[in-house]
Each structure stands twice: as structure tokens, then as C-alpha cells.
Structure 1
Amino acid sequence: MNNRERLHAIMNYQKPDRMPAVHFGFTPEVIERWVQEGHISKDILDFEDYAYEAEDLLSQKLGFDFGWHAARVTTTELFPFFEEKFVEHLDDGFDKYINCDGVYILQRKDAKSIPAEVGHLLEDRASWEKYYLPRLTYQEERFSQAELDRLKAEQAKGNPIGLHCGSLCGRLRDYLGIVGLSYMVVDDEELLEEMFCTIGDLCLKSVQRTLDTGVSFDYAHFWEDVCYKNGPLLSPAMFEEYTAAYYKKITTLLHSYGIDTISVDCDGKVDALLPIWLENGVNTMFPIEVGTWDASIAPWRERYGKAIKGVGGMRKHLLAQDYAAIDEEIKRLKPLAQLYGYIPCPDHRIPDDAKWENVQYYCEQVKKILD
């Protein structure tokens, strides 16, 4: 079997010849450290962040089969992005910038954590219509023939390819900030609905444009990241009100093209949003971030049965420990993998402290998890 055939077998609850070793990318810091340790050539640092070429090289050397990445053949992001600019240096050592989303952030040069948001260009109808609405309307220039050609080449090698369907809530939350999004419900609900519809229409048109190329995608994928350790950052009722109709439209379109594995990337505790996704066509959770809330597909499978599938759920931090820790994790995941409809995968990018030999060992062991 090739990787496409393995993916389709597992997601249709059939037994493949073996489990594929799947990843979700690598942090720049771990790549730099592996270069310093001599595991890979320093030439890999010349690639852009998360470049496909760099990931292909790492996958081959480590033993991964493919990464769970969906391509943006037609981008659903701001088009164009805002120009990133330095704003000012503050006395406490922080630098203030405006980033590509029009968000004012604070960060230190030596910091690795997510920057602090301290302001947003998007605040009201005037800023929406001047800066964002023109950047969130469909244009043919959004389509990338080069990206489509790359996907065709991957598929020709027997690897699965995914279609990125955009974000129906998460990116708007980025533009407004969670506080701004929360206030907008009261301050200008009509404008908020217009924002959600604008983004929903853009995602729908972009997906249709890509499907019209005739390429047969193996799965489709959304991105949200609207949860944290205790649950959603916004009420499930609000999420359903503003996103459900567009999820349904897009997933119905995907199904009409024979795409039956439809995943969503959402970190944090997602349990309260699961019914909304499942009722509106999304059936695969990713990356099942274990976190302090101990996420697993096990209780979801007990509640929803085969209606829910998953990719992820492997505790990535164990890759910094030893073989024994990885053996225990494989033992924990084995009964879940043997139910099918589930592919183990580190629950985020391979972290900074992951040991090269541990990642190789994990790849070897996960391929044998169905034995």
C-alpha cells in the first residue's frame, strides 16, 4: 500500500498493511538544534519556515511518511497581508510592532512565546470597510497554480493531499482579538454578522475554485484554534450561530466531490464544540492536543461512535525523554489505533527539546502499532 491507500483504509475503518507515521511539522528551534548536532545539513536552514522541501527532507531521515498539512491552493487569508512594521521600543525592553493581521503586538527579541496583543486595527465599521473588507473578498489572484502543481506531484508519489478550507471563526478572532470579538456581539451585532458572512463567502468561493480544477483531494481541513485548556474562548451558541451554516455549505460541497474525511485543527479542550462540527459535516478532530485536560479520542468514540475520527493525540513532550516513555505512549495509543478511524500523531509540531533518536524510534514503533 502507498500512503494514500493507507489513509483511505484507516479513515474508512478498514485495516491497512500498516499504520503511517504522521507528523504536524517541526519548530524552527528543533531544526536548528539538529543541524548543530550534525543530524542534518545546515543547508536546510535556507528554506523558509515550514517549507515543504525542508519537511520532506526531515520526514525521510526521521522515518515519517507524511505530514497532516492541507494546502491553500486558493488562499482565504488577508490578501494582501498588512506590512509588518516596527512601531516603538518601550522602556521595559519590549518592542511594539504591527503584524501582518493588523494587530499591535509586544515582544522581546529573545522571547519564544506567543507575542502579547495590545491593540487591533479592526475596531469598528470604518476600519472594517477601509482595511479588511477589500482584503477579504475573492480575487482570482488568490489562486496558486504552483501550489496545485506541487500537490499533483505529491499525489503522483502516492502521498495523500489535503485541501485547506480556511477558518470560519479563528482568523476573525485574530483580527479583532477575543476581547474585541466579545464586545462586538453587543456593540454592533449587524457588523459582526457581516464579518462572519464575508469570511464564510470567501472560504466557500475559494474551495469551489480549487475543486473546479478537477484534482481529487484525499481530505479537507479547516483551522480554528478557538479553545483553551478549559473549553471554547467563545460560547458554543455563538460559534454555532455564526459558523454552522457555512460549515454545512462547504462540507456539503466537499462531499459532492467525494471528499469524506474533513478535519478541523483546533487546540485546547474542544469537547463543547464537537456536536456543532459533527452536525455540520466535520468528522475528524486534529491534533487532539492532550494538554492538562487529557484529551483523547477514546471518550469521543464512546459518545459519538464511528461518526468521529481523529488524527493526533500523541504526547509530543515525550519525544524529549527516552525509549521507555515512548513505549508506554505506544501502549496507550494501541487500542485506539486498532479501532481504526484514528491515526496517532504528535499533538503539535515536534518541540524544541525533542531528541533526534527518540523521534526516529517513535516512527519505527508507530508503524507497528497495528501488529
Structure 2
Amino acid sequence: MEKYMKQLIMNSPDQKISFCEYMEAVLYTPEIGYYMRSREKIGREGDFYTSVNVGDVFGRVLAKWFAYLIKEYNLPPTIIEIGSGDGKLAYDILHYWKEKEIQLFDCVEYRLVDRSLDHQQRQKERLMAFPQVSFGGVLEQYSELNGIVFSNELFDALPVHSIEKQNREMLEVFVTIKNEMLIEIKSPLRNDKIISYLESQNICLKEGQRMEIPLQMVELYQNLASRIQSGLLVTIDYGYTDEEWRQPIHCQGSLRGYYQHRMVRNVLEHPGKMDLTSHIHFDCLRREGVKYGFVEEDFLQQQAFLVKAGIMDELEEDNGLDPFSETAKRNRAIRSLLVGGYSEYFRVLVQSKGLMNG
């Protein structure tokens, strides 16, 4: 990857690339990008954990909630998971329905969309027992979508541009090479799309403030929203509201790397071997939804959403004699999702279009 990055930069205008181009290369270059390589990325053997890795509780709660929505609003029994990773969440949802919602299980269509060929292969191996599952790499294979479209920690993994305000001037942060090392350089902001985003979102940086600009997030959301004819669009991710972005604690932005379960602030380290992520702009998605005819149904912290969706019903009586019993492990998983290390900035945004009560 280091050799590929040097060639990419040396062949670019002014021998520099935007942070968006850097992230696109180190995360998504076929076969050598972080998400495209055949290796464990999530869990103990990977670089980070998600809510999905805390047992099967997260998937069971979503499955129960999805079943309620399909019945309550007469939705077609179709689930479309965007950015579906290794397929564990789909497995947990379908396994719950096979146990508890057999009629829904028999008629549901579950579509997975993920651009990583490695992820697609893992999905197929994990979900081979479920014939109602289909696999794909691009959203464009579906001209229109009806049902429940959802993502879990998708938008935070998309490449972003990075900007900063210094001496009253707006600058864009680029990546170049000096003494064989990847380094940052800054140039006056000239990207019209970034400027348009700042204007449309009414963003005005303070002196010394840095911020990530999620143009790919907006493009993907618009692509999704334009294809949904009726149903629900559910976004589960971590991010800030406009008010939170203005807080001094966030003045250096949110772009981070995760390498072997360690947070790395220098995102130019370990190219292709480290996960890169940034907090998303939730209020932007809320405004975009209105443009596409969506109604906001809920916007909650993840913990509050899980309680509302029935996670407490998953708790079971436990005599405490065996800490490794399935009951004990599930109860611990519930506690970790509600009071553990999962940030208050994990949110669930629920938007609807054309819903009718059953």
C-alpha cells in the first residue's frame, strides 16, 4: 500500500491528494485497501468492535422492531441492509425470525449491499442456510426500494474532505510526501463542492477549527433516498448535531484511526492496515430527508432507542452460579449496550416515506 500511495501522490497534480482521495485509496482500493483485504477487521482479532459484536442482542432487538414495523405499517417484507459487513447482523436478525417470527421468516426478502468482495464472500459463507438472502455490491442494481432500508455504522466509514480555518482564511488539508513520509499540507480552499456544502449547511468555522466535510455521505444518502418509494430509512451511526459541532471540544474535528483496538490520531499511519472513521453530520441527513419527501419519525441516542425497541425484554433471570451461561452472557451484553463504552453520540435516525398504518 505504501508504494501504491506514493505513486498515486506523485502522479497527482501538484503531487498532493485531498484527504478524501487518501481515504478512498487506503480504505477501498481493490485487494489492498483496508475494507477490501481478506482479513479480520471487527472483533477481538480485528481493530475495533461494533454493537453487533456484543453477542446477538443488537440483532434480536432490531429483528423484533423490524417485525413490528412490517405488521404495523403493512410494509412489504423486504429488508435492505447497506454496508452489511461480514453478515453477522443479518444472521442474527434472520435467526431470531426463524425462532420467533416463522411466518415473516418464510416470506421475507433480505438484500445485502456491500462494495467489498471480501465482505460479500464472508456473507455468503455465513448466510448459506438462508435462501431469502441476496447479495450485491452496488445500490444501482435496484431501481426502486420499498420496505425497510437501514445501515449500521456505514456513513462514518466513508471518505471525507478535511478543512481548517487559519488567520481568517479557509484552507483544505491535503496529503503529500516529504522525505519518504506521508505528511499534511494546507492550501487555500478552492473546492466548489465543499464551499457549496458549507453554505447550504450554514457552517462557519471558528479561528483554528478543523472539520471533516462528508460529500460522499451526502451523495450516498441522496442515492438511497431517491430510490426509496415507500417505507423506512434507518440510519444507525455516531455523529454530531450542528450544535455539537460548534462545541469547543470538537474544534479539531473527529477523524481518527483504529489499529489493533487502539485509537490513532495520526491518520496517515499504517495506510491500508488501519480503519479510518469520522463522526457524521446528522442534521445534514435530517435536512436532506425533508428534500426527498421523508418524515422524521425518531432521532434518539442508541441506548434510548434500544430501550424503546424492547431490549429490556431480552433480560432473563439468572442464578449467578455460572458466569459463562448463555443467559449470563446475554445479560452482560445488554448491560454493555446500555451503560458500557458505547458513546452517547451513537444515534438512530428513523425517517419514513408513504407509511400507512395497518
**TM norm. shorter chain > 0.5:** no
Structure with a larger share of its residues in helix: 1
What TM-score, normalized to structure 1? 0.29
Structure with a larger share of its residues in strand: 2
